[in-house]
Structure 1
Amino acid sequence: MMPQDIRTSPVCNLAVGEEIRGKWSHYRYRIRRRLGYGATGAVYLADSDHGVVALKIGHDQMSITSEVNVLKRFSKVQGKVLGPSLIDVDDWLTRNGTYPFYVMEYLKGETLFDFMKTRSPEWAGILLVQLLTDLHTLHQAGWAFGDLKPDNLLVTGPPFRIRWIDVGGTTIMDRSIKEYTEFYDRGYWGKGTRKAEPSYDLFSAGMVMVNLAYPSRFTKASDPDKQMQAKIAGSPMLKPYASILEKAWNGKYRNAEEMRNELVLLLNAKEKGKTPLKKSRTAIQKPATRQAQKKKQSSFLTETLLVFTFVFIVYLFYMLGQTM
């Protein structure tokens, strides 16, 4: 959850064109616009000597340092880049105080909602597979994402790839989740504790998919279980994934890899379900095509043989004439 006065905080209201200068490195960053904000601060799009970057600034030095450490760890997790690359860490000295900030790679892409507007519903499952793959890597490194929601995700590409853009809620396993958003939080729905563990993130991952089907979201009813079953059954996008979403909802998965593997099997089965029609059409078209090709090849060989035979006979008669 975020403090009630976060929107009025100075770090959340930097003006367009305002310049931030690092106290230690003296690098300058000129604000373009705010990209978002959370409990630990706000993220801005900014111009710099490094090009266009994303700059996160906050009040609390410990929170910012913790996020910086997470980004550093992400760059070393099994050689795989999970979050944006870290560029700079510094403090901004103002008349009203000193504010810590860090600068990271700006990932250019589309929000999940914008991406899905022009794509088929199957893409929701494909993106969830990618998300679960990265979550498993993160969990193996001893961290939970925590505040997993569409606002903290972006689709880059092509090739299209889901990426994380804010790691403010990332928490060491077995500790209390430090930042969350109610709709994606199992504690809000009465489905478990706010302990950092794989099942917490998997619940949130399922709710991200639910949110894609219901962009305006919805509040908790008196019977959340029946409510969620009805929401899944009532959505053409979600209905094919009902068994997986319900297991994530009820905390039945041991890890992200298990959920991912079930999802991959389901997607493959859906794809195979389309294959017979494609095969039947191919079966009608391809043999005819092959027969036509064989006839062409046979005709060409026959004609070629006849030509060579004719030329050989002519040549033979010519040679006989020369010897007589």
Structure 2
Amino acid sequence: MTPAIPTTEVPILKNLPGLAYLPYHHIRKLRSGTYGHVHLMKSTHNPENLMALKIIPLRKGVKNVRDEYYINQKLMSNEFIIKVFGMSNQSGNCYLTLEYADGGDLLDIMPGKKPAPPELGHHFFKQLLAGIKYMHSQGVVHRDLKPDNLLVFKERATLKIADFGNARHFRYDGNEVWFAEKKYGTRMYMAPEAYTHIRYRGPPIDVFACGLVLVVVLTRINLWERAEKNDPNYMKWVAGGSPDGENWSSLDPKVVELIRRMLLKCPYFRHTIDDIEKSEWMQMERDQKKLWSQIEEMKDKVREKAKKKEEKAEEVLE
């Protein structure tokens, strides 16, 4: 049986949930969040066999972790959804084993404060949209879409949606369920109806978050702290204003129009996934040679960043 361990310490573990009975060695912490920590693990029998171990304190609620696992498992047949291999509870912690995304999250592929090149941004956004479309077709909303939860596999230049801790079913027996929670996911990516409506639909809040993700990818701008009337930047946007900065002013007018439609205050008029797919910007043909050049450049930067992290981890061990 896997021993219970603090979320800040991960020794060599055996019999990890969903994996063969082989020891895995801790490499480094990948990320930390509200609900726990994610660590990179390597098989001691096959060093090329890497996986991510998510450790969640059970005080966060066994039901919440179980829901996250089963929703993720239900969706993972889609190529743009992260795979989860297993789950186990051991005195004090819950362990989820997941496939390891070697490119990090969506912001890791962009060095410093530079935005993604247009072709690369378009490439990853199409994949995000395909993943969300599949998720919604299965009656699930993510409710915490943000760059941190969008992971990249560098060799295949593939984006996968991760972290289903806030995901919920919005359709039961063909009937749509509305939500009433006033706090879900991450405040910066929450839709305005969560602040103003007694109840609200699930799919439009994912669309709203996708619009904000697209802005961050193409400009590295966070439009506001939260989409409600006390935020001056949000009210400026609602009044038709635009954010400052060269990155925004240099955007293609077609993508600006798409972003405006995705970030409409009223969810009834906001673009749907089908509307986004049919938009001029999404239908644009991209220079494939330029795209693959940008992908190769991204791979080089990710490798360089990973090497520095490994060297830092080794220094800590010494």
Fold-level similarity (TM above 0.5): yes
Q: Secondary structure at the match of 1:19?
A: coil
TM-score by length of 2: 0.67
Q: 1:231 and 2:243 equivalent? A: yes
- Counterpart of 1:207 in structure 2 is 212
- Which structure 2 segments of 5+ residues have no match? 171-177, 288-318
- Counterpart of 1:40 in structure 2 is 35
Which of 100, 109, 112 aligns to 1:106? It is 100
- Counterpart of 2:278 in structure 1 is 261
Q: Secondary structure at the match of 1:107?
A: coil
Q: 1:22 to 1:232 in 2, by over 3 A?
A: farther
What percent identity do the matched residue pairs reach? Answer: 19
TM-score by length of 1: 0.66
How far apart are the structure 1 equivalents of 2:103 and 2:134?
23
Q: 1:158 to 1:58 in 2, by over 3 A?
A: closer
Instruction: Spell out the pairing of 1:9-20 with structure 2 (5 A cutoff).
Output: 11-14=6-9, 18-20=11-13
- Counterpart of 1:244 in structure 2 is 258
- Counterpart of 1:73 in structure 2 is 74
Question: Please, which moves more after superposition, 138-147 or 220-229?
Answer: 220-229
- Counterpart of 2:308 in structure 1 is none
Residue 152 of structure 1 contacts residue 166 of structure 1 at CA under 8 Å; is this kept in 2? Answer: yes
Q: 1:223 to 1:194 in 2, by over 3 A?
A: farther
Residue 213 of structure 1 contacts residue 238 of structure 1 at CA under 8 Å; is this kept in 2? Answer: no
How far apart are the structure 2 equivalents of 1:240 and 1:115?
24
Question: Please, which moves more after superposition, 203-212 or 247-256?
Answer: 247-256
Residue 46 of structure 1 contacts residue 54 of structure 1 at CA under 8 Å; is this kept in 2? Answer: yes
Q: 1:216 to 1:271 in 2, by over 3 A?
A: closer
- Post-superposition shift, 1:162? 1.4
Give the RMSD, CA atoms, in angstroms.
Answer: 3.4
How far apart are the structure 2 equivalents of 1:187 and 1:151?
21
- Counterpart of 2:173 in structure 1 is none
- Counterpart of 2:83 in structure 1 is 85
- Counterpart of 1:311 in structure 2 is none
Residue 81 of structure 2 contacts residue 131 of structure 2 at CA under 8 Å; is this kept in 1? Answer: no
- Counterpart of 2:55 in structure 1 is 57
Whichever residue aligns with residue 224 of structure 1, its letter is Y
Structure showing greater radius of gyration is: 1
How far apart are the structure 1 equivalents of 2:234 and 2:207?
17
Residue 175 of structure 1 contacts residue 195 of structure 1 at CA under 8 Å; is this kept in 2? Answer: yes
How far apart are the structure 2 equivalents of 1:194 and 1:160?
38
- Counterpart of 1:131 in structure 2 is 128
Which of 145, 152, 157 aligns to 1:155? It is 152
Instruction: Spell out the pairing of 1:294-305 with structure 2 (5 A cutoff).
Output: none
How far apart are the structure 2 equivalents of 1:102 and 1:27?
16
Q: 1:231 to 1:90 in 2, by over 3 A?
A: same
Q: 1:23 to 1:258 in 2, by over 3 A?
A: closer
- Post-superposition shift, 1:89? 2.2
The structure with the largest helix share of the pair is 1
Instruction: Spell out the pairing of 1:111-190 with structure 2 (5 A cutoff).
Output: 111-117=105-111, 120-173=117-170, 174-175=178-179, 179-187=184-192
